[in-house]
């Protein structure tokens, strides 16, 4: 079975995480996909498969005879999706021989536009997979799951010699909490790769340092007719806080290694307002400076409006795994070799986000990230190509062969 054919099945199983739930998994829907994957691994002849109470699927594939002492390598992908744009049934749409131009997404009124996604002309002639425009597609990260499953099938069908292999499908990556419950000892790998990137051939081991920042503003609400020198409008103070941040350092205006402040939400009334941000930077010192800027804004606001008006809470989320992976750069060199062997130009580039591999690397399992042939994640414009997924699958198979040498 082709990887994209698996993707078409998996995406129809909605698995949004629940940002408001602290349990793992945060949503019971993730178990539905986990059970499908558990059964499918068993059907593929993998005997050692485990589905845990926390919705992790682990599989261990013994080495080919004579290769038992080779590096134990793992492949990981996550089952959850973002919760946005999940209200409707997910209906994947296939456009064969895509012309590389603007593409209406069903009857949703949304259009996949070249001006927004300049890589689209490079996909001309491929089989393009999108949603109907009313939902996400779920390429992130069901494409990675599909490619790992197809790799397992190919190893068996093509009788490919390999060392000991480990497979894991995880919950709640999008929340950033799933990896906290990952059982590294049980997984029992020396190294691993997450398949959670974009374009096929991507090889990533430099990610953002990340934190969440929340400003809470306690205002003074009185009748506007008698508000002079008394009212402190909490919503206006929240807006003032945002205006103190550099306007050119947002996701829209940054790329590659450039960090940003990203306002997720701002809501409230005259009496109380709350604004939520995520802060990202690849450089550790710049990241620390960004957090210092937020604390300075808190200080200035309280000096201006009165002590206790503004409260800032900063929660660290994950760190740049570069310092871990650079100690085992054979992972990157092997991935580059695998890409070249299957006719892909390797693209070593930073992750403008994070993966399960970030936390796993700091927990003792170095875990760079590979591209899966998808684009436009976290919204109704998600898309992938059958050919890109085939290449990503080919690359994982080539990696297995390299580690077996």
**Which residues are identified as catalytic?**
80, 173
- Of 200, 263, 262, 274, the closest CA to residue 234 belongs to 274
Please state, in angstroms and rounded to a whole number, the distance separating the CA atoms of residues 84 and 7: 19
Looking only at Cα atoms, what is the longest distance across the chain? Answer: 85
Strand order in the sheet with 383-385: 93-95, 128-130, 383-385, 374-375
- Cα(7)–Cα(384) distance, rounded to whole angstroms? 10
Question: How far is residue 310's CA from residue 219's CA, in Å, rounded to a whole number?
Answer: 9
Cα 18 versus chain centre, distance: 15
Q: What burial letters (b/e) apply to 83-110, b meaning 16+ CB within 10 Å?
A: bebbeeebebeebeebeeeebebeeeeb
Alpha-carbon gap, residue 303 to 245, rounded angstroms: 17
SS3 label, residue 191: strand
ω into residue 298 within 30 of 0, thus cis? no
CA 52 to chain centre: 22
Quote the CA–CA distance of 342 and 275 in Å, as a whole number.
47
Cα 362 to its chain centre, rounded Å, is 17
Least Cα distance to 58 among 71, 45, 46 occurs for: 46
């Amino acid at each position: 079975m082709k990887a994209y054919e698996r993707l078409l099945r998996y995406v129809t199983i909605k698995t949004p995480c629940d940002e408001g739930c602290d349990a793992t998994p945060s949503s019971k829907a993730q178990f539905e996909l986990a059970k499908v994957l558990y059964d499918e691994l068993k059907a593929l002849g993998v005997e050692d498969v485990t589905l845990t109470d926390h919705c992790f699927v682990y599989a261990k594939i013994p080495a080919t005879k004579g290769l038992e002492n080779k590096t134990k390598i793992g492949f990981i992908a996550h089952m959850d999706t973002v919760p946005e744009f999940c209200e409707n049934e997910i209906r994947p749409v296939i456009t064969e021989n895509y012309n590389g131009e603007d593409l209406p997404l069903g009857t949703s009124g949304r259009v996949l536009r070249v001006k927004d996604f300049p890589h689209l002309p490079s996909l001309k002639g491929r089989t393009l997979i999108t949603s109907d425009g009313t939902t996400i597609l779920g390429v992130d990260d069901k494409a990675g799951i599909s490619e790992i499953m197809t790799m397992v099938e190919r190893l068996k069908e093509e009788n490919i010699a390999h060392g000991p292999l480990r497979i894991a499908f995880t919950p709640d990556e999008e929340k950033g909490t799933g990896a906290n419950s990952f059982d590294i000892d049980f997984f029992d790998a020396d190294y691993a790769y997450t398949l959670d990137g974009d374009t096929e051939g991507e090889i990533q081991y430099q990610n953002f340092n990340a934190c969440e920042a929340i400003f809470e503003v306690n205002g003074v609400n009185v009748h506007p007719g008698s508000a002079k020198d008394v009212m402190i409008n909490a919503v206006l103070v929240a807006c003032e806080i945002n205006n103190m941040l550099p306007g050119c350092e947002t996701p829209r205006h940054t790329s590659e290694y450039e960090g940003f402040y990203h306002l997720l939400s701002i809501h409230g009334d005259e009496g109380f307002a709350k604004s939520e941000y995520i802060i990202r930077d690849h450089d550790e010192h710049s990241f620390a400076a960004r957090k210092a800027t937020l604390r300075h804004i808190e200080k200035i606001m309280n000096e201006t409006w009165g002590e206790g008006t503004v409260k800032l809470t900063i929660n660290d989320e994950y760190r740049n795994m570069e310092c871990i992976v650079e100690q085992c750069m054979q992972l990157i060199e092997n991935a580059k070799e695998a890409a070249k062997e299957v006719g892909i130009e390797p693209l070593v580039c930073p992750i403008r986000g994070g993966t399960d591999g970030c936390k796993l690397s700091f927990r003792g399992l170095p875990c760079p990230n590979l591209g899966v042939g998808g684009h436009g994640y976290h919204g109704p414009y998600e898309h992938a190509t059958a050919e890109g997924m085939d290449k990503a699958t080919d690359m994982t198979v080539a990696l297995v062969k390299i580690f077996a040498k």
